[in-house]
Amino acid sequence: MTQRYYVPQLPPDGGELDLPETEAHHARTVMRARTGDQIELFDGEGGSAKATIQQIIKRQIICQTEPLLQSSDGIPVPVVMGVAFPKGDRSKLLIEKLTELGVQECVPLSCERTQFAPSAGAIEKWRSAMLAACKQSGRNRLMEIDSGHSVINWFQEQPTADTNWLNFIAHPETAEKGNPSPPFQQLLAEQILAAKSQDSAVEPTGIRIAIGPEGGFSPDEVEAAEAAGWQTVSLGQLVYRIETAAIVLAALAIHR
């Protein structure tokens, strides 16, 4: 498999460039790169270019690149995931899988029942995991990782009706207790069909999904979401861990 490296600015017409220091270190010490190796570079904004390693001089790797190519990631609409992150390695797994699936942005949520508040250091580690997942999966556009939001503020800040975004909150019942939430797949299909019928078969602008902590969203949080136009959805009778629910919902939203 062709090795991939992240270079934020690639020359549009091709040319000679040095790999960034961290990428050059990875190429030398981990991938054992050699002069003449064929590699692929990507800029994190959808562009990529084939390249050949011309010289390796101590810590420097000089490449000759071909013209920049722009490619689509094949995702029908952008998907944004707001998640009350789990602790430890589970959060890294979550970032890796959301990146591989093609999620546009991930927003850490602070909730009433949240047990883990990510630090700046944790978010930086998540960004490293995201970049590694882009290299592995062939994704050329970086997933955005937000610094975090209070969940109620996030619900209220996201426009709905005027922008044709579909906003969902994963919760087994509506704010009015006893009323079960509809299955996500069913409601998503209905909402997309409604959006298309209103605008000449145009897809919705995007999809946002909120996943709460282990104890679920509080009644106040569910009420705030519904008041802001979000719709509650369920994943059936089984209770999933945070990262499992996020991965399943993202996959259903993107690969439908």
* Per-residue confidence (pLDDT) for residue 159, from 0 to 100: 66
> Would you place residue 61 in the very low, low, confident or very high pLDDT band (cuts 50, 70, 90)?
very high
Of 13-17, 41-45, 68-72, 116-120, the poorest mean pLDDT is in: 116-120
Least confident of 24-38, 44-58, 183-197: 183-197
Domain 3-70 has CATH 2.40.240.20: yes
What is the phi/psi pair of residue 133, to 5°? Answer: -70, -35
pLDDT of 164: 80
Residue 108 identity: P
- Residue 202, pLDDT above cutoff 90: no
Neighbours of 150 (CB within 10 A): 15
Distance, in Å, from the CA atom of 118 to the CA atom of 86, rounded to the nearest integer, reads 9
**Confidence label for 128 from pLDDT (cuts 50, 70 and 90):** very high
At 116 the pLDDT is: 73
Mean pLDDT across the stretch 201-214?
Answer: 86
Pick the CATH number of 79-254 from 3.40.1280.10, 3.30.230.10, 3.90.1010.10, 3.40.50.1100: 3.40.1280.10
Average pLDDT value for residue range 106-120? 88
Q: How confident is the model at residue 186 (pLDDT cuts 50, 70, 90)?
A: very high
- Crossing angle for the helix pair 242-254 and 89-101, nearest 10 degrees? 0
- Given a cut of 60, is residue 200 above it in pLDDT? no
- Span 170-192, average pLDDT: 85
Residue 175 reports pLDDT greater than 80: no
Q: 100: which residues sit within 8 A by CB, 6+ positions away? A: 133, 136, 137, 139
Nearest to 70 by CA among 99, 100, 41, 49: 49
Tokens of 242: 């945070």
Mean pLDDT estimate for the chain: 91
Query: How do the domains of the chain map onto residue ranges?
Result: 3-70, 79-254
The mean pLDDT of 211-231, rounded to a whole number, is: 94
Categorize the per-residue pLDDT at 71 as very low, low, confident or very high, splitting at 50, 70 and 90.
confident
Does residue 169 carry a pLDDT above 70?
yes
Is the pLDDT at 173 greater than 90, yes or no? no
Closest CA to 144 of 107, 112, 175: 107
Mean pLDDT score, 46-62: 96
